Amino acid sequence: MVAPGFVFGLVLPLILLADTSADVAFRFASYINNYMVLQKEPAGAVIWGYGTSGATVTVTLWQGQETIMRKVTSVKGHSNSWMVVLDPMKPGGPYEMVAQQTFGRTNSTLRVHDVLFGDVWLCSGQSNMQMTVSQIFNATRELANTAAYQSVRIFSVSLTQAEQELEDLAQVDLQWAKPSSENLGHGIFTYMSAVCWLFGRHLYDVLQYPIGLMSSSWGGTPIEAWSSGRSLRACGVPARGFTQSDSVTGPSKHSVLWNAMIHPLHNMTLKGVIWYQGESNVDFNRDLYNCTFPALIQDWRQTFHWGSQGQTDRFFPFGFVQLSSYLSATSDDTFSQIRWHQTADLGYVPNARMPNTFMAVAMDLCDRKSPFGSIHPRDKQTVAYRLHLGARAVAYGEKLIFQGPLPENMELLADKGLFNVTYSQEIRVQRQDKIFEVSCCSDRQCKWLPAPMDAFSAHTVALNIRSCRGALAAVRYAWTTWPCEYKQCPLYHPSSTLPAPPFIASLTDPRRGKHSELAE
């Protein structure tokens, strides 16, 4: 299924083992450095590192000559690690943080300067999250637009694997830094995520306080590599190591990226996570994705909550990008299935299985001429904009429209040969005769047939079903790898221009009411 230019990212051969080093040099954790952003109130930021067993560690936060707070702890004997939780801080800065270790008559001092307090977001996934600003539309202009965003700080994890859960990162590609054209546009699938950066920039425009962005992504990787063994077992994922799937070009062994690129961050205090992944599961455990994705979210939430001493919210907001379009040599519906599974087979989020989540629909952001292959569309600006709307609503409680129209009710008008789909929001309609389909059944055989738009109103689309000579079993919308041309899908919310997401609904389900007809 791989088209020319189907590039997912560089695969590194490095496989690391768990950190069992006896090194007790006094140091901060790998991601605590100059220019970092720490999570603001109401949570307390976690500061930790390594030192000499039994030593006393004092962490002091300074602003100018003023001592803001001081925390004292000791180095644990079994792990040679130390940890403090800072008092909740208002957004702002800069601050200087000093950690001093005292062991007998020996003192060691560490300093981190230009520390800000704000919201910290972790960005993860595969190559569409990994794409850098240099790869997207209007790259030159975007790379030059950094001067006003020096309080949006960026950090990027190196591509590493591990057989066991690491406590600290083995490598860092980009230490905390102020944004610049050099570090945002460092290379192809290298360093800072464009979606992550643009998402954070939108948040800063609204919130007007510091934003910390941590990118940890690897192209061509399935969800199994990013999942803990716990969550994979909960979903009954077969215990196999590597896969030969064409859609997987990066590490696929269970948990190797969770171990090396996510778990080492679990002690830090986060505001939330955004995620862009799924392409590599199109033909790899696809039918389990409706479990593995919700399970990943639940497991990450629990692990970060525990690791941060309860400072990261147990149900922190989790946003994701529904898969965009792809010029496939085949006409199967595997991409559509993954899009559906990304919502736990409900068609919308948040929902009961995926609480406190938000989604950016991207099926209308296709890119036929992308030099990185059509599976890598270059319009990451719209992706980030739609994601930030979801964050504003779900993570920050703002009252705004953050998702496109959802089907609310369906009605068969058999005598008129019509089937009405009524949406929860007002819709802007552009007629398209093949994007709606109905499953028509006779003699125990069912076939999907186009259901042209016969008429429409502010909330309802009337589908022509006269071609169906049997019983209607189901209806679906945009159930194809490439549903429409760029921003030309037929249904959008008129003012927000957010597209209606794809759906499939069983008409034999007796349930009715808002969203309930969206069957598995």
Query: From the first residue on, what is the mean pLDDT of each consecutive set of 10 residues in the chain (520 residues)?
Result: 34 39 78 98 98 97 96 95 98 98 95 98 97 95 95 97 98 96 87 95 98 97 97 92 76 97 98 98 96 98 98 98 89 91 97 98 96 96 98 98 96 93 95 94 91 94 94 95 96 95 83 36
Q: Are 172 and 27 in contact (CB under 8 A)?
A: no
Alpha helices in 125-278 (DSSP H): 127-130, 139-144, 181-184, 194-207, 229-234, 256-257
pLDDT of 36 reads 98
Q: Are 233 and 263 in contact (CB under 8 A)?
A: no
Here the tokens at position 113 are 């300067």
- Report residue 187: phi and psi, to 5°: 175, -165
Q: Are 46 and 188 in contact (CB under 8 A)?
A: no
pLDDT of 88 reads 98
Q: Which of 496, 435, 442 is nearest to 461 (CA)?
A: 435
pLDDT of 244 reads 65
pLDDT of 271 reads 98
Angle (CA) 517-519-520 rounded to 5° is: 170
Give the SS3 label for residue 264: helix
How far apart CA 508 and CA 361 sit, in angstroms, is 27
How far apart CA 225 and CA 203 sit, in angstroms, is 29
Chain centre to alpha carbon of residue 513: 30
Considering Cα of 339, then 342, then 348, then 349, what sign does the dihedral take? negative
